[in-house]
Copies of this chain bind each other. A is one copy, B any other.
Amino acid sequence: MPPSEPDDDARQVMSADKAAVSRALNLVEDRRAESHARVADLLAVLKDSPKAAGGHRVGLTGPPGVGKSTLTSALARSLRQRGRTVGVVAVDPSSIRSGGSLLGDRARMSFDPTDKGLFVRSLATAGEVGGLAYAANSSVRVLAAAYDTVVVETTGVGQSEIDIVHVADTVVLVIQPGSGDVLQFLKAGIMEIPDILVVNKADHDELARRAVADLRGALRTAHAAGADRDRDSDWETPIVATSATKGTGIDELIDALDAHRGHLETTLQTRRRQGEVQWTLDLFSRKHGEHGVSTLGGLATLKARTEQELDGGETPLSLCERLSREYVAALGQTT
């Protein structure tokens, strides 16, 4: 049997066929060059899907142990109860050290396996950050063509190596009472201000109140340090207190997500385009390093060109391939 056409695969993904979505994500996790090429073709078709255009990509990040997985489960269940379909990608950066997913966190996620409107995948590409970043970004794009809301969950603080900011419409930072280090990263301007802040494990009123107050102070300092330079200036980061295990605060979180998605309506395309430009530059830099970037004219030139090409209908993966061929050819001419 010949391999199926990208169009067929894409149609099945867009109809939220779970087997097709699963196959597409397997392709994303496959490291062979021919799989990369097929993913590029697939994403080129999927990018104009109605779901992708109208949907919401939520990035959920924070240090380990704050209950991100439990919160993701609770969020997904509540979204399903509201009739929305949900795709989840959980990225496990500890797999880079351990050479495989520990799956400890995943065990805490509980989902109904017969629910056709819910898809959950845990990513743990062993070995290198580059592979994991490529797989996470591509997986979100696959799921965004099939489900109303896509949640990508990853562990990090400060300058995270697996950057979900580029792929998320809305970045949610999850902390718990006592997350003093994250507050310091915010205050120091090293960590970018998220779109929504969640204080999870807010079971005790007094601790939760203090945590929210501390966060509000940290946000003021962060604004003063200029950590929101690249973000919307007219969006005030809401702080939501949740208890994922008790299920409290989840409705408020969904309201905050909807409010931010609504706020983005006019700027969504710009934000996503910026994210695609950044993803293209990341892909190319990981592949060819500083020498690749400087050979093609330096970062500013390459960025301007990427913007132009993506506006002309190119996609990040195929553009990166083309830039790569160009770079190799340029080196061949100079030697």
Q: Find the residue from A97, A328, A331 having the highest chain B CB count within 10 A.
A: A97
Contacts of A190 in B (CB 8 A): 64, 93-94, 97, 155
- Is residue A329 contacting chain B, with contact meaning CB distance below 8 A? yes
By the criterion CB–CB under 8 Å, are B290 and A287 in contact?
A: yes
Q: Is A297 an interface residue (CB 8 A)?
A: no
Q: How far apart are the CA atoms of A289 and B160 in the complex, in Å?
A: 19
Per the 8 Å Cβ criterion, residues 176-196 of A in contact with B are: 176, 178-182, 184-185, 187-190, 192
Q: Which of A203-260 contact B (CB under 8 A)?
A: 225-227, 229
- Which chain A residues in 273-308 approach chain B with CB under 8 Å? 285-292
CB–CB B335/A329 < 8 A: yes
Instruction: Point out the residues of chain B lying under 8 angstroms from A324, CB to CB.
Output: 291
Chain B residues positioned under 8 Å from A227 (CB to CB): 97
Within 8 A of B (CB), among A58-74: 63-66
Q: Residues on A close to B: CB < 8 A?
A: 63-66, 93-94, 96-98, 102, 128-130, 155-161, 175-176, 178-182, 184-185, 187-190, 192, 225-227, 229, 285-292, 324, 328-329, 331-335
